[in-house]
Structure 1
Amino acid sequence: MRPFIYLILLILNTYSVQCFAARVAILIDDIGNHANDLTTLDISGQLSYAILPYTPYADSFSQRAASLSRDVILHVPMEAVSGKALGPGALTSDMDKSALQKQLITALDDYPKVIGVNNHMGSFLTQKVVPMAWTMEVLRDRSLFFIDSKTSKDSQAQNMAKLFGVANASRHVFLDNIPNETQMMFRLKQLIHIAKKSGRGIAIAHPYPETIKFLPNAINALKEEGIELVPVSELLTHQPIRLASQKDAD
């Protein structure tokens, strides 16, 4: 009987490894300002993209990305601790609920191909529970997901996403904070380590010339490590926060 049990455990372990192989998503932010951004769609592999609202190439990029079955989300400018200028379509802490939600809804209406949202900057606003709740209310009503760019360690965005039942995830690595090959390879190795340890990893990159040149090599490196590159929508958490009921409190 004991050898039979060992055989079953070996089969289950093999099946588990095959079904739960490490997966990684690479999300290219800040898309839309330059015609050269369109060249990121020529890179072979399931990259994902975040378009800045009201930029010159945002609409054409989102249309083409959708036609290629690539994930495209809206990169919504949000207030930063630095007070840096945000550009059109920004969400700020001085907005009331009506103004914030109207700003977000208008941008989403202008880009019907987007399937989710992430924050552009936002180190200040994402710390604020109430604006994040208003944001997630809109995303819930539109069945959109949220990726927290994690520009603040104190971000409340995912907590509010879970509270409102919005599918969500967060960035693990910025791939090209320093856009040279040595530094990007260092960040890629961090991503690979995270993915192998937890089964998943999300990197954010940008359409810098150096990054565009590096990405094909990065995708090949992932393959060599046995890691699957997937759309960011495949790495979402769907578990809502369960609020304590009166019965639980008793």
Structure 2
Amino acid sequence: MRFVLISILLLQPFLCLNAGQVAIIIDDIGYRKTDQHALTLPGKISYAFLPHTPFAKELALQANQSKKDVLLHIPMEASSGKLLGPGAITSDMDDDHINHQLSLALDEIPFAVGINNHMGSHLTKLQKPMASTMKFLKRHKLFFVDSMTTSKSKTRALAHVYGVPHLHRHVFLDNHTDADYIEQQFEQLVEKAKHNEFAIGIAHPHPETIIALKQLLPTLTKHNIELVPVSSLFSDSETSQIKLASAE
């Protein structure tokens, strides 16, 4: 009995270890004043803002003042030909034009710690424009989170070439705004975090999403999953290399 008790006490620190980490990025923020409701989510949520939209700068400042990770959500050319909005990068732009577009976005929100792509199913497959993007990120010490709108994305390989910290989205949480669907996707995110040690989810500032996440985020504790800022996945170069390998 005494041996069992001692064993339990010795094991106790290990029993408290996290089963994994989850980072959640809320993107598409900036067109609507109501996007501010996303900033009320509890915990270390990360936020990605569409450049040059009516409320992007104001809400990004609020997020930054609350010590939340702020990313630039850069519109990139889609295979569908959808309208991209201001600040977009397209395949017909040269290196200087891409640099100019990204510079304007960063000038508007200079405290951004990284970028992720809005759409981009065409552009992220192309070496030249994505190489220009990676060179910009390297100069400004920003990371890239690939929203993975195509399985043929070249961002990982190019990020490696240019020495840019890179990770990718594992789960879209709200492609449908049905509460049951969001819960199902959230559970998938948790399972990926347990399996890979971490997972990145992307969601949007839909009212249904905010309501669902306010209910779901507290459940991470029972799974022994830690909610972290996405930047923390890049906080240490050695750890980043391990995580990058895991993400592959």
Please tell me whether residue 188 in structure 1 is matched to residue 186 in structure 2.
yes
Aligned pair in 2 of structure 1 residues 135, 16: CA closer, same or farther (>3 Å)?
farther
**1:71 aligns to what?**
69
- What is the identity, as a one-letter code, of the residue corresponding to 2:201? A
CA distance in 1: counterparts of 2:153 and 2:50, whole angstroms: 21
User: How many angstroms apart in 2 are the aligned matches of 1:42 and 1:226?
Assistant: 23
Residue matched to 1:142: 140
Q: CA deviation at 1:189?
A: 1.0
Q: Greater CA deviation, 152-161 or 74-83?
A: 152-161
* Matched-pair contact (CA < 8 Å) for 2:18–2:226: no
1:205 to 191, 203, 206: 203
What is the match of residue 248 of structure 1?
none
Determine the C-alpha separation between the residues in 2 that align with 1:115 and 1:143. 8
Tell me the alpha carbon deviations over residues 127-157 of structure 1, each in whole angstroms, 9 at most, x when there is no partner: 0111111101001110111100000000011
Match of 1:29 in 2: 27
| SS of equivalent residue, structure 1 residue 221 | helix
Aligned to 1:105: 103
Q: Which of residues 212, 215, 232 in structure 1 aligns to 2:213? A: 215
Mapped contact 2:124–2:130 kept (Cα < 8 A)? yes
The residue identity in structure 2 corresponding to 1:61 is L
- CA deviations 1:73-114 (Å, max 9, x no partner) are 000000000010101110000011111111111211111121
8 A contact 1:178–1:184 mirrored in 2: yes
C-alpha distance in structure 2 between counterparts of 1:170 and 1:92, whole Å: 21
- Residue 245 of structure 1 is matched in structure 2 by none
Partner SS for 1:90: coil
Residue 71 of structure 2 aligns to a residue whose secondary structure is strand
Match of 1:235 in 2: 233
Q: Is the 8 A contact 1:165 1:239 kept in 2?
A: no
The residue type paired with residue 226 of structure 2 is E
1:176 aligns with 2:174: yes
Aligned to 2:43: 45
Q: 2: distance between equivalents of 1:31 and 1:119?
A: 13
Q: Match of 2:60, SS?
A: helix
Q: Which runs of 5+ in 2 are unaligned?
A: 1-6, 243-248
Farther-moved stretch of structure 1 (161-170 vs 74-83): 161-170
Give the alignment's TM-score, normalised by structure 2: 0.88
In 2, Cα distance between the equivalents of 1:94 and 1:162? Answer: 24
Taking the aligned partners of 2:181 and 2:40, their CA distance within structure 1 comes to 24
Partner residue of 1:83 out of 81, 84, 104: 81
Using structure 1 for the length normalisation, give the TM-score. Answer: 0.87
Amino acid at match of 1:76: I
Distance in 2, matches of 1:238 and 1:225, equals 23
Q: What does 1:8-19 align with in structure 2 at a 5 Å threshold?
A: 18=16
2 CA distance for matches of 1:163 and 1:239? 14
